[in-house]
Amino acid sequence: MATIKDVAKAAGVAISTASAAINRSAPVSEEVLAKVAEAVRRIGYVPHAAARSLRSGRSNLIGLVVPNIANPWCGAVAREVENACFASGYTSVVYSTGQDAARESQVLEMMRLQRVAGMIVIPTRSDAAHGAALVNQIHVPTVLLDMQVEGLPFDVIKTDNVEAGRLATEHLLALGHRRIGIIVGIPGLATSDDRLAGYRKAHTAAGVEVDEELIVTGGFDQDIAHRAALELLQREARPTAIIAISNMMTIGLLFALRKLKLAVPADISIVGIDDLEFSAILTPQPTAVATPILPMARLAIARLLGQIEAKQAPAGKIEVHRPTLIVRDSTARH
């Protein structure tokens, strides 16, 4: 494959001159500029990113660490990141953690191997122990998306998860529901815990006592949430409404309802947190608390690129975006 040496030879200039012409990194005469450009075109020269990054010490790789790239929610983030990277001459490399801390550690190691210039990370855990482990593994500008990690000094872009849980619950309480089930994810995970906290907060505000029995753990997967929902729905004293705290969990819940032939919202009301892109074609259309994932993703990558280019340290700033309740047909008065 053609190298810059070939370009230099073809253009009849020194290698360093060719480099300067290609990168416009030093003054070069119009004449030489044209000769080099022509040579590049003729030879079909494309610089070698690895060599470039090795010498310059600057990488053009941006790491994206998500729970699961097959999840459309993550896909949307990836798309935004990819777009922004492309526009700025970076290339994104994506890895999925499967929401598993050990795997996350391996993935971060890979990122280190590739010497990414910076990372956007949706973490697997949010506790201090996890933060302590991670702080030694991350040596590049990083922006945490969707979730804060205790003790990690990076910028965070997240949703107000307490508010998200509160909005969903408040809506159901206002409709007269008093036995509201909630399927949470992994305990100890901030997104999950916070949304549950919002659930409690709404209850307190309404003066309704929380029945701890109605809080079930479902994991963030569709399958596990599905099983948890089945269990919850088949109890003697069934809740009159259920909240699922993530998109995949909502699908699992809807599947369980379908299986048990329960009518929504006649038999039971449903609220999902995180909206489903295809909710318009569901029957009934699910009431949901939407989180502004696209703007958040865009902001995250913009922040990251800013930190990389300006070599400015992260402010450790936590930016919280407001979720919004979208009332549709899956919730009714009780």
Binding site for a second copy (CB under 8 A): 1, 44, 46-51, 53-54, 59, 68-72, 74-76, 78-79, 82, 86, 91-96, 106, 109-110, 112-115, 136, 139, 251, 254-255, 258, 278, 280-283
Q: How far is CA 324 from the centre of its chain?
A: 18
Partners of 244 in the β-ladder: 183, 272
Here the tokens at position 296 are 């958040």
Cβ-in-10-Å burial (0-12, 13-18, 19+) of 238 comes to middle
- Under the binding rule (CB under 7 A), the answer on residue 70 touching DNA is no
Rounded to a whole number of angstroms, the minimum distance from the CB of residue 271 to DNA is 51
Q: Which stretch binds DNA (CB under 7 A): 51-59, 135-143, 214-222, 297-305?
A: 51-59
Using CB distances below 5 to 8 A depending on partner kind, what does residue 236 bind out of a second copy, DNA, none?
none
* Of the candidate residues 51, 87, 174, 315, the single one contacting DNA (CB under 7 A): 51
Using CB distances below 5 to 8 A depending on partner kind, what does residue 5 bind out of a second copy, DNA, none?
DNA
Alpha helices (H) in 245-310, listed in sequence order: 247-259, 293-310
Indicate the DSSP class of residue 280. G
- Under the binding rule (CB under 7 A), the answer on residue 41 touching DNA is no
Rounded to a whole number of angstroms, the minimum distance from the CB of residue 71 to a second copy is 7
Using CB distances below 5 to 8 A depending on partner kind, what does residue 31 bind out of DNA, a second copy, none?
DNA
Count of residues that interact with DNA, criterion CB under 7 A = 31
* CA atoms within a 13 Å half-sphere pointing along the CA-CB vector of 100: 10
Concatenate the DSSP letters of all residues of 309-323 into one string.
HHTPPP---EEEEPP
Nearer to DNA, 41 or 258 (CB): 41
Rounded to a whole number of angstroms, the minimum distance from the CB of residue 138 to DNA is 18
Characterize the bridge pairing of strands 287-290 and 324-326.
antiparallel
- Under the binding rule (CB under 7 A), the answer on residue 34 touching DNA is no
Rounded to a whole number of angstroms, the minimum distance from the CB of residue 40 to DNA is 10
Cβ-in-10-Å burial (0-12, 13-18, 19+) of 98 comes to middle
Using CB distances below 5 to 8 A depending on partner kind, what does residue 69 bind out of DNA, a second copy, none?
a second copy
Q: Which stretch binds DNA (CB under 7 A): 27-35, 61-69, 183-191, 312-320?
A: 27-35
Using CB distances below 5 to 8 A depending on partner kind, what does residue 288 bind out of a second copy, DNA, none?
none
Using CB distances below 5 to 8 A depending on partner kind, what does residue 220 bind out of DNA, a second copy, none?
none
* Of the candidate residues 56, 106, 137, 312, the single one contacting DNA (CB under 7 A): 56
Per the CB < 8 A criterion, the answer to whether 21 and 28 are in contact is: yes
Using CB distances below 5 to 8 A depending on partner kind, what does residue 27 bind out of DNA, a second copy, none?
DNA
* CA atoms within a 13 Å half-sphere pointing along the CA-CB vector of 219: 13
Using CB distances below 5 to 8 A depending on partner kind, what does residue 281 bind out of a second copy, DNA, none?
a second copy
- Under the binding rule (CB under 7 A), the answer on residue 32 touching DNA is yes
Helix, strand, or coil (residue 46): coil
Of 219-258, binders to DNA (CB under 7 A) are: none
Nearer to a second copy, 19 or 148 (CB): 19
Separation between Cα atoms, residue 198 and residue 98, nearest integer Å? 26
Separation between Cα atoms, residue 11 and residue 192, nearest integer Å? 61
Rounded to a whole number of angstroms, the minimum distance from the CB of residue 111 to a second copy is 9
Concatenate the DSSP letters of all residues of 150-219 into one string.
TT--SEEEEE-HHHHHHHHHHHHHHTT---EEEEE--TT-HHHHHHHHHHHHHHHHHT----GGGEEE--
